[in-house]
Amino acid sequence: MKFNKKFLAVAAAGALTVATAVPALALENQFSGAFISLYDLSNFNAAGNIQKDAPTANFFEQRVRLGYTAKVSDDLKLVTKFEFDYSNWGNSSYDSTVGRGQGGALGADTVNMETKNLYLDWSIPSAKLNVKIGMQPYDDSFKGIFTSADMAGILLTHYYAQASTYAGFFRWNDDGSTTLGKNTRDMFVLDGKYNVSKDTLIGAAYYFVNSDNVKMTNIVSPEDLTVHMLGVNAATKIGALNVDGFLAYQFGEDNITNVDRSAFAANVGASMKLNAGTARTELLYVSGDNNNSNEHSFYTPYSQKFAQFNLAESGFYNNEMVILGRDKNAMTNDNAIVYDVNNRNQGVIFGSVGYDYTFTSKLSGSANAGFAAVAEDNVGIHESNYLGTEINCELGYKFTDNLNLSARAAYVFLGDYFKGLDADDPYDVKLLVKYIF
């Protein structure tokens, strides 16, 4: 009898312990995502070719993104994001191979899931520190012209009253051909931002990329180089006018060719409220390789091309271009005349103006015009550096708070850079459905 009483007391105490522990182990499951489908009619976007008698393609494209966050508290959460694409309706079905963007044909049944993000987001309030560990999105402090992508690494953020500092390490690639961790592309990050006032922010950043004899399918020979990137950025508000921009410099060396790197990039952007809309403008300059290695130094070869590492993981979207620059709505079929700011080692001079207007609470629109030219025609066979002028417009209707319908059209008047091709001017028309939850 005494034993039973003792047993019940112990059991009750154990149950009480478990009950009090439950709130500490409580988990909040957060789901988010997006469904996007578009119809595209274009003589450029499907293939990305500038040519005479360019054929007109029409296709449907679809993307679904699903996000799940396992949140223990505001200071500790696991963040995941997955992506499912059909690069075009009707492309394949019952395919036993795993392929990106496949499965859009009759019958479907193709594995095409992509893992975008898997990272731990951990904050330590007492230390004013945030830590992100794993595959995470990272954008540079220069409007994405150097890197803007998902990447595996560790990012530390320390907050102050008027400032924030960032330090990170990311492993872009590891070819694993000999020993893991030996032949890699690694990026190191040091970044800082300071609020001078409520209207003015200044920042400085340093990125170092070491590519140590990396062999990959998208480069012909092993890549062995170092790239340092230093820059400053700022944003301020003067009355109704918002101004921001950056100045960046790259230096380093290609250890295979012994070519020194020295490249520049500069940008200024502005926006302001104008009647019921917002007027915008952007100007970007990125140096290009002049293909004359002895112009700047008698002893040391010299390269002005801006490093992009033959990757698509960067882009300048602030100019709101569709064909001349990368389209913000592009998915798997993602083509542009100036795809990245390296621009085939030629660099770029890019300018744009735009206006966003709100007609009603549900209807809005925008119009944009932009021009682009290569900074250096390093081939020397073109009649001009001028690539072309784009005009585009967009009209959007908010059916509900979560569902948006839009139409976008763009046309490029090609410049004399393409005169020898006698090419057709490219155009693109998109109809989009976007559901966000």
Q: How confident is the model at residue 313 (pLDDT cuts 50, 70, 90)?
A: confident
pLDDT at 217: 63
Domains of the chain: 28-436 (2.40.160.100)
Please tell me the pTM assigned to this model: 0.89
Give residues with Cβ within 8 angstroms of 159, minimum separation 6: 128, 129, 130
- Residue 338 pLDDT greater than 60, yes or no: yes
Mean pLDDT score across all residues of the chain: 90
pLDDT tens digits, 13-22 = 444 444 444 4
pLDDT at 220: 64
Distance CA 224, CA 211 (A): 5
- What residues does 354 pair with on adjacent strands? 280, 368
> What is the percent of the chain where pLDDT is above 70?
90
Distance CA 11, CA 223 (A): 65
- Residue 297 pLDDT greater than 50, yes or no: no
pLDDT at 141: 97
Distance CA 294, CA 75 (A): 55
pLDDT at 300: 47
pLDDT tens digits, 24-42 = 558 999 999 999 999 999 9
- Residue 10 pLDDT greater than 70, yes or no: no
Higher pLDDT, 87 or 178: 87
Pairing of strands 57-73, 28-42: antiparallel
Give residues with Cβ within 8 angstroms of 9, minimum separation 6: none
Pairing of strands 302-303, 259-274: parallel
pLDDT tens digits, 234-286 = 999 999 999 999 999 999 998 888 889 899 999 999 999 999 899 999 999 99
Nearest to 322 by CA among 373, 369, 265: 369
